[in-house]
Amino acid sequence: MRHHSVLRASAKILIPPILLFALYVQFHGDFGPGGGFQAGVIFAVAFILYALVFGLEKARRVAPPAVTHSLSALGVMIYAGVGFENVLSGGNFLEYNVMAHEHHTAQHLGIFLVEMGVGITVCAVMITIFFSFAGRGR
C-alpha cells in the first residue's frame, strides 16, 4: 500500500476524527444514541483503518497484543468491580445508588464507569479479532 498516497493521506486525516467521534459516542451515550459497545467498535475502526492502510505489522506496534489482551480483561474488571463495590457497600450487584449520597450523582457515576468498562473491552476485543483474522492469511 506504499504507493497509494491519496489513501494514506485520507486515512491520516480521518483517524483522529474517528477516535474523537468514538469518545463523543461514549460520553454522550446517556443523552443520545450510543454507549459503550458502539463507542468501542468505532474506536477499534480507527485502528483497523490504520492496519488496512499502513500494514498489519505497523498496527501491531501501535496496539501490541499484550496491551489489547490486558485491556480486554481490564474492561471486564471495571464492570465487575463496580458491581461488587455496590455489593460491598450494602446494595445489590450493580445497584448504583449506594455509590454516592445523591441519587442522580450515584446513577451517573455508576453508568459512566460501567459504560467505560464495556467500551474498553469491546475496543480491545475488536482489535484482537481483526488482527488475528488479518494475520491468518487466506
Residues lying near other proteins in the complex (CB under 8 A) are found at: 1-2, 7, 11, 14, 18, 21, 25, 32-34, 38, 42, 45, 48-49, 51-53, 55-58, 61, 130, 133-135, 137-138
Our CB check for other proteins shows the closer of 48 and 127 to be: 48
Q: Compare residues 47 and 79 and give the one whose CB is closer to other proteins.
A: 47
Q: Least Å distance between CB 127 and other proteins? A: 13
Provide the minimum distance between the beta carbon of 38 and other proteins in the complex, in angstroms, as a whole number.
Answer: 7
Q: Residue 91: phi, psi to the nearest 5?
A: -105, -170
CA distances from 58 to 7, 14, 50, 64, 88 (A): 16, 18, 8, 10, 44
Nearest partner of 110 among 131, 137, 89, judged by Cα = 89
Neighbouring C-beta atoms of residue 78, cutoff 10 Å:
19
Residue closer to other proteins by CB (options 45, 122) is 45
CB of 117 to other proteins, least distance (A): 21
33 vs 90, beta carbon nearer other proteins: 33
CB of 135 to other proteins, least distance (A): 6
Give 3-state DSSP helix, strand, coil % of the chain, rounded to 5: 80, 0, 20
Cell of 65: 497484543
